[in-house]
Amino acid sequence: MTEIKVDVRGQTCPVPLVEVRKAVRKATVGDVIEVVGTHPASMKEIPLAVKALELELLSIEGAETNWKIRIKR
Amino acid sequence: MAERTTIVVQSGDMDKMYSALIIANGALAMGMDVWMFFTFWGLERLKKGGLDKGPLSKMHMLGLGKWMVKQRMNKAKVVSLEKLMADFKDLGGKIIACEMTMEIMGIKKQDLREDLIDEYGAVGMYIDKARESNVTLFI
């Protein structure tokens, strides 16, 4: 299992979502993707993408302008 | 088979190009297949060097409005249309160029960014993709 870091701090819609998708494509089953960002809308929509992609949402931490989301492929 | 979004890009306006590409990238990011069908003024944006050349759909004011909106977009750190297009292709997005528009407007394949285009076709090809789409939009 590897951990993939995605840093989208300072980026706005749709970049955080797109970068998560790119990371998921690179990951293999069991890998964990850790995303950090500052765009409030992305904090809400990344979990929607996780559900749509049938991945596992491990955790959401922080404030909407400084958050960390962990996803398991 | 993955769910599909189909978008007709008929407008060449800058703001609508943003809408189309952001929605397309969102759909790809959420695991859908995406086909964009570029027709009429939209196809002008696939000409070499043309992606960013569209006017604003409202308040263009001979370019002043567009300039002001671009300043605000830069401040809000909105990415360029080129970046959105690069991500779209990177995530496997597909593009159809309308052959009838090419005939009407006298556009040749070599005028277009052929590296971005997956298919050349007309309405039948659009319907073929759209009829099995979960989301379809006309922008």
Q: Give B136→chain A minimum CA distance, Å.
A: 18
Domain with B8, as residue range(s), is: 4-138
CATH fold of the domain at A3-72 = Translation Initiation Factor IF3 (3.30.110)
Cβ neighbors of A49 (< 8 A, separation 6 or more) are A17, A20, A21, B29, B30, B31
How confident is the model at residue B77, as a pLDDT?
Answer: 87
Tokens of A15: 């970049």
Those of residues 8-47 in A touching chain B at CB distance below 8 A are 10-15, 17-18, 20-22, 25, 45
Asked whether the beta carbons of residue B28 and residue A48 sit closer than 8 angstroms, the reply is no
Q: Known catalytic residues of A?
A: 13
Tokens of B2: 């993955």
Predicted confidence pLDDT, tens digits, chain B (139 residues):
789 999 999 999 999 999 999 999 999 999 999 999 999 999 999 999 999 999 999 888 888 999 999 999 988 889 999 999 999 999 999 999 999 999 999 999 999 999 999 999 999 999 999 999 999 999 9
How confident is the model at residue B1, as a pLDDT?
Answer: 72
Strand A56-63 and strand A66-72: the pairing is antiparallel
Asked whether the beta carbons of residue B77 and residue A11 sit closer than 8 angstroms, the reply is yes
Output the domain CATH number for residue B12. 3.40.1260.10
Give a three-class secondary structure readout of chain B.
Answer: CCCEEEEEECCCCHHHHHHHHHHHHHHHHCCCEEEEEECCHHHHCCECCCCCCCCCCCCCHHHHHHHHHHHHHHHCCCCCHHHHHHHHHHCCCEEEEEHHHHHHHCCCHHHECCCCCCEEECHHHHHHHHCCCCEEEEC
How confident is the model at residue B62, as a pLDDT?
Answer: 87
Q: Omega before A14 cis (within 30°)?
A: yes
Q: How far apart are CA B83 and CA B136, in angstroms?
A: 23
Count how many domains chain B has: 1
Strand order in the sheet with A56-63: A3-8, A32-37, A66-72, A56-63
pTM (2 d.p.): 0.92
Predicted confidence pLDDT, tens digits, chain A (73 residues):
799 999 999 999 899 999 999 999 999 999 999 999 999 999 999 999 999 999 999 999 999 999 999 999 9
